[in-house]
Structure 1
């Protein structure tokens, strides 16, 4: 008799299956036991590839965020921030259920630390004081993660009766979900542009010596 086929496990296959569970059921539903069932193997088989779920999630996060672009700082700090912000948001919105992991601090994640180093270094090299470079990175991340966390437009009900009479300033609110992607993208661009424009003014002060009290990181 032919020997029964045993599924061949690999790290990429495990990551793909785990991400599929996260996308479908949510991050909190992923467990090594459930993942083993998805792959039709014993849970113990997974531990020869990943010591625990956190280790697996770290590699999934690294993979999902691999396309975040920090190359623009070789042109100027504004272009660098714009590229980083847009590509970071795009990476997070592709797998919203993974956001708590993918948007977490770099910790000891090598690729996340490399990107943080590139952003901070790019800003300092351009002339920003280290303390302000740190604050700019943090502020940009607040904007990016906030934009990726939920959709503003999809937060409204699509039933016109909800707004009629009682909310006269929201007479078109029922149409917002229909245009959610367009509204969310345009709103992020508006916020990002306003943020960068504001930094331009502050940078002029910094480079002219008007903000000498900025200090070190």
Structure 2
């Protein structure tokens, strides 16, 4: 038998192609017709694996969440929850920054997505195992999610144009603003690390203060 010209379709192959398409061209580019053309198949053949475009998008989004490293939570117990929180936040942000076109969809919440629900379960469980009350653990998870997503939604440094004259006359404190975009990565990453340190150290202080009330 002759070998098929194109590899057989699978969920994994479809999701990988859809992710590449969204990364390259944005969410608006993702359609059944366009994806079928990229894969070299007929449009209806995709429906054997995904009943709707929303189901496909859910799978693509969950693939990105699956890139987040959760290994640091495996043996936290009552130990280094703060270190686990830092490592997880950095890994989460890295996954979002690598796929910025999907951030608005990811920000909507886990829904029924397996990797996203596992992430929420592992982080919440790790905090509770470390001694945080369940209500506090829920709020910390939400807080960190707001912070990580906010840092990935856009670049502060890139918001300033490279034109000194725009700022020089009317905005005396922005005399160097036209240089910010040139240092976008270091500024954005530095801001994230500053915020992460402030959040985790503040939580650690709260944890120590509440220590006497814990069993």
Report the more deviating stretch, 129-138 or 59-68: 59-68
Report the more deviating stretch, 47-56 or 152-161: 47-56
CA 1:4/1:123 → structure 2, altered by over 3 Å: closer, same or farther? closer
| Residue in structure 2 matched with residue 31 of structure 1 by the alignment | 31
Q: Which consecutive residues of structure 1, in runs of 5 or more, have no partner in the other structure?
A: 211-217
Indicate conservation of the 8 Å contact 2:161/2:181, yes or no. Answer: yes
C-alpha distance in 2, partners of 1:32/1:186?
Answer: 40
The answer to whether 1:47 aligns with 2:47 is: yes
C-alpha distance in 1, partners of 2:71/2:95?
Answer: 16
The answer to whether 1:87 aligns with 2:91 is: yes
Q: Which consecutive residues of structure 2, in runs of 5 or more, have no partner in the other structure?
A: none
Shift in Å, 1:60: 1.6
C-alpha distance in 2, partners of 1:159/1:174?
Answer: 6
Shift in Å, 1:35: 1.4
115, 129, 133: which one aligns with 1:111: 115
C-alpha distance in 2, partners of 1:80/1:209?
Answer: 23
TM-score, with structure 1 as normaliser: 0.89
Count residues in correspondence. Answer: 209
CA 1:200/1:7 → structure 2, altered by over 3 Å: closer, same or farther? closer
Indicate conservation of the 8 Å contact 1:21/1:30, yes or no. Answer: yes
| Residue in structure 2 matched with residue 168 of structure 1 by the alignment | 172
The answer to whether 1:133 aligns with 2:152 is: no
Indicate conservation of the 8 Å contact 1:7/1:41, yes or no. Answer: no
C-alpha distance in 2, partners of 1:26/1:149?
Answer: 14
Q: Counterpart of 1:51 in 2: which secondary structure?
A: coil
Q: Counterpart of 1:163 in 2: which secondary structure?
A: helix
Shift in Å, 1:80: 1.4
Q: Counterpart of 1:106 in 2: which secondary structure?
A: coil
The answer to whether 1:194 aligns with 2:194 is: no
Shift in Å, 1:14: 1.6
Shift in Å, 1:7: 6.2
| Residue in structure 1 matched with residue 212 of structure 2 by the alignment | 208
Indicate conservation of the 8 Å contact 1:61/1:102, yes or no. Answer: yes
Shift in Å, 1:189: 0.3
Report the more deviating stretch, 152-161 or 31-40: 31-40
Q: Counterpart of 2:210 in 1: which secondary structure?
A: helix
Indicate conservation of the 8 Å contact 2:63/2:115, yes or no. Answer: no
Q: Counterpart of 2:94 in 1: which secondary structure?
A: helix
Report the more deviating stretch, 153-162 or 6-15: 6-15
CA RMSD of aligned residues (A): 2.0
Indicate conservation of the 8 Å contact 1:147/1:188, yes or no. Answer: yes
C-alpha distance in 1, partners of 2:123/2:14?
Answer: 31
C-alpha distance in 1, partners of 2:69/2:108?
Answer: 17
